[in-house]
Amino acid sequence: MLLTAGYGTRMRPLSDELPKPIMPVCNRPLTEFSLRLFSRHGIRRAVVNLHHLGRLIPPALGDGARFGLSIEYSEEEVILGTGGGLVRARRMLGDGDFLVANGDVLCAPDLGRLLRHHRERQAAATMVVRPMPAGAAYTPLWLDPDGFVVRIGGAAERADLRPVMFEGVHVLSPAIFDCLPRQGFSCVVDQGYRALLQRGLRVAGFLDTGPWLDLGTPALYLDANLSLLSGRLRLPQLDPLAGDGAPDGVLIARSAAVANTARLGPEVALGERATIGEGANLSRCVVWAGARVEPGAVIERAVVTSRTILRLGARGQTDS
């Protein structure tokens, strides 16, 4: 299951135009990276939940065939949270273990090894975790020496516990449904996982040290695009520049129109039907489909949409 129903509050104003899961990352919907990761590891069915601007997601992803799998959509009339979304989609998820991934991260864990680890540990749930970065504000998960999660948040109660952070990918057994309310909003971590631990069920940690990016804010979203365009970040499930690239990490959709005197690069992605006027100068920018850049405009470190130019400097952002 791919969780894509959230409001994307931290991503505003961009998420007022598009739901975060289909914002373009190197001219592909963000969730394409997760769907191709699923397919790469043999997953053939996916459930995608919908709420905020949910009507825009199925046209962008279709039935999943181009990603090598089939997609079933779970519409939420009222947003249900990560736990309630799972409960709503329970029928679609079947009777066995299932994978869940947040729709706003870029990562590439080995899902085959993850599933084997989950089964070998006889866990009710297995969370993909990462070493906790110094000074990070993420809620710590505390692992014991055997690699099991024994506490969520707070401080370590024992000297042999180590803090890690949750990557947003996990394998769950049907036992999770006994730990979540049958109706209404709930959080799979705050309510589901805490209940699993209180009941003495095993929650395993699966350490991933590969690439991982959170795309929760406009600045993080822009930086993810620039890292892929420059080649600083590469993900095995998808080479974003294959067949479309140009020097200096410039990616131009086939239907984009660029004036002869415009200058692009380094690190620029132009979406379908984007129009760049004469004498415009763009660097480190993402230009969404259908957006227009006026002649003579000079734009650096920005996301350009049909409604706005969101400039993202090192010390904040200016919407113009």
User: What residue ranges do the domains of the chain occupy?
Assistant: 2-214, 243-319
Can you name the residues that pair with 310 across neighbouring β-strands? 303, 319
What pLDDT does residue 247 have? 61
Residues found in the chain: 320
What pLDDT does residue 319 have? 53
Which residues does 135 contact at the CB level (< 8 Å), separation at least 6?
A: none
What pLDDT does residue 191 have? 94
Quote the tokens at residue 124: 């009710």
CA 172 to the chain's CA centroid: 19
What pLDDT does residue 138 have? 87
> Coil, strand, or helix at residue 83?
helix
Compute CA distances 309 → 88, 236, 301, 313, whole Å: 37, 31, 10, 13
The CATH number that domain 243-319 falls under is 2.160.10.10
Short-list 204, 230, 297, CA closest to 258: 297
Q: What is the pLDDT along the chain (320 residues), one digit of tens a residue?
A: 999 999 989 999 999 999 999 999 999 999 999 999 999 999 999 999 999 999 999 999 999 999 999 999 999 999 999 999 999 999 999 899 999 999 888 999 999 999 999 999 999 999 999 998 887 788 999 999 999 999 999 888 788 999 999 999 999 999 999 999 999 999 999 999 999 999 999 999 999 999 999 898 999 999 999 999 988 888 887 765 544 445 678 999 999 999 999 999 899 999 999 999 999 999 999 999 999 999 999 999 999 999 999 999 765 455 55
From 3.90.550.10, 3.40.640.10, 1.10.510.10, 3.40.50.2000, which CATH number describes the 2-214 domain? 3.90.550.10
> Coil, strand, or helix at residue 143?
strand
CA distance 32 to 55: 17
Short-list 53, 96, 100, 60, CA closest to 75: 53
CA distance 320 to 85: 36
> b vs e for 48-80, b when ≥16 Cβ sit within 10 Å of the residue's Cβ?
bbbbbbbeebeebbeebeebebebebbebeebb
Answer yes or no: are the C-beta atoms of 132 and 165 closer than 8 Å: yes
